[in-house]
Amino acid sequence: MTDTAIQVENISKKYTIGGVKAKSLREALGVKFSNLISTSKTSEKPTDFWALQDISFSIKEGDIVGIIGKNGAGKSTLLKIISRITKPTSGRVEIYGRIASLLEVGTGFHPELTGRENIYLNGTILGMSRSEVAAKFDEIVEFSGVEKFIDTAVKRYSSGMTVRLAFAVAAHLEPEILIVDEVLAVGDAEFQKKCLGKMGEVSRKEGRTILFVSHSLPALKAICHSGILLEKGKMMLQSDIHEVIKTYSTNTIFTEGLVENVEYYDQSLMIVRDIIINNLRNPKFIQHEKVLYVTITMSFLKKTAFELDIHLKKDDYYIASYANYVTKEVTVFEAGDYTLDYEIQLPEMLSGYFDMDMYFTEPFIKRHSGIVNAIRFEMVNGDHIPYLNVQGMTWGKVLVSGTVNHRAGS
């Protein structure tokens, strides 16, 4: 008796993009005529695109696996192949047990049927008898929170209501394998938390296997045991979820250094030669650090008043800011090479994702250069920060403290 739930062997998936595939003789003649009269010098020829290339892995019964990767990495394609929605170009998948998938809003629902009828329909698809579904019916409806609309056609539901009912059905009708894509992002925060708790419960108590795709790293860390990292259709790593998240965040995905992203507003003042944050030269993602150690190596081309501004923001709203000159005199640098060392204490903030803007400025006058969205932060179990207005300027909810050391020479 095998304890394997999913076995994927050398899966590849090819799509043909560009060109027009005629479905009839009439369409074929139309395409040919269009090509003859077209004034364009370039014709769109079909090309092959490999969404997945030679993917192999095994998942044990009862494991909760997070599938991680950037948009376009192949996550949804992989789940569709495992769910039997689409066929691989090559390779094979072995599934041991009944499978329920929640990949898109309305997956598995007939829009003309009511919520009640769709619950029974899904149970039938999973091989359950009417009495077995009836035994779970009240629990499904209560979890979904759509009891007032259970006899309304699903096509009348909002996307959030549809997702609520779809997840409740998938989680309570006892499939051995549950596959959930980013679709849960449609629901509100309270329902997402409820779903994560339910996934952990059914895996822990009932031994179900779960594949979970999400861009929310806190959610993945909260419930997943292991992870699979995809990049450009290839599997980069299968390991413990914390190791996969660490690799995704720091090594695999982001290759450009911060220096390459500096935008100069005045080319005559300075050249930023190197930026290192917490010993990383290209840290596009940092997980809940208490202190930022920033080292900037730069050349001033002429005498320049200079200071570093850092703004942390959430959804483009400033949450916190660092500006050393608020409490100290403005530093004026003579032409030459310098290394600037900053130690910046981060505040406790609400849990979630925050982006950081970094600007090199002449205080209260103008910005010399800068990097928008230099780093993304993940804050975990943070506290709310009261609003603070710094010197009449709305910079954010708190002013971040820090120290700076200037060293001549690079």
Q: How far is CA 138 from the centre of its chain?
A: 34
The CATH number given to whatever domain includes residue 334 is 2.70.50.60
CATH code: domain of residue 79: 3.40.50.300
Residues 223, 340: one domain? no
Give the strand pairing for 90-95 and 64-68. unpaired
Q: Pick from 229, 252, 275: which residue ends a domain?
A: 252
**Cβ–Cβ contacts within 10 Å for residue 117, how many?**
16
- For the chain, how many structural domains are there in total? 2
pLDDT of residue 253: 39
303 and 387 in a common domain: yes
Residue 157 and residue 227 in one domain: yes
Residue 239 confidence (pLDDT): 92
pLDDT at 306: 86
What are the pLDDT tens digits along the chain (410 aa)? 468 899 999 999 998 876 555 555 666 666 565 666 555 555 556 788 899 999 999 999 989 999 988 777 888 889 889 988 889 999 999 999 888 777 766 667 888 899 999 888 888 877 778 888 888 899 889 888 888 999 999 889 887 788 888 888 877 877 788 888 766 655 566 677 777 777 878 777 778 898 888 777 777 887 888 999 998 899 999 999 988 887 776 554 344 567 877 888 877 888 888 888 877 766 666 665 677 788 889 899 999 888 888 887 776 667 777 776 555 667 888 999 999 888 887 766 655 667 788 888 887 778 888 888 777 766 554 444 433 333 333 444 445 566 677 777 65
Give the span between the Cα atoms of 129 and 40, in whole angstroms.
Answer: 60
Task: Please give the Cα distance from 318 to 291 (Å, whole number).
Answer: 19
Q: Check residue 57 and give its pLDDT.
A: 94
Are 196 and 339 found together in one domain?
no
Which of residues 195, 224, 252 is at a domain's end? 252
Q: How far is CA 309 from the centre of its chain?
A: 27
Residues 334 and 370 in one domain: yes
Q: What is the pLDDT of residue 126?
A: 72
pLDDT at 229: 92
Residues 118 and 225 in one domain: yes
295 and 400 within one domain:
yes
Q: Give Cα 330 to chain centroid, integer Å.
A: 40
Domain span at 171: 4-38+47-252
Rounded CA gap, 231 and 382, in Å? 31
* Structure tokens that stand for 10 in this block: 């050398």
If asked whether residues 170 and 305 sit together in one domain, one would say no
For residue 128, what pLDDT is reported? 77
**Tokens 């406790």, residue?**
348
Same domain, 267 and 234: no
pLDDT for 381 equals 45
How high is the pLDDT of residue 386?
36
Q: Could you tell me how far CA 236 lies from the centroid of its own chain?
A: 17
Q: Based on the domain organization, do 366 and 271 belong to the same domain?
A: yes
Residue 124, pLDDT score: 82
110 and 243 in a single domain? The answer is yes
pLDDT at 387: 34
Return the closest-CA partner of residue 400 out of 348, 342, 345: 345
Q: 285: closest CA among 220, 388, 235, 356?
A: 356
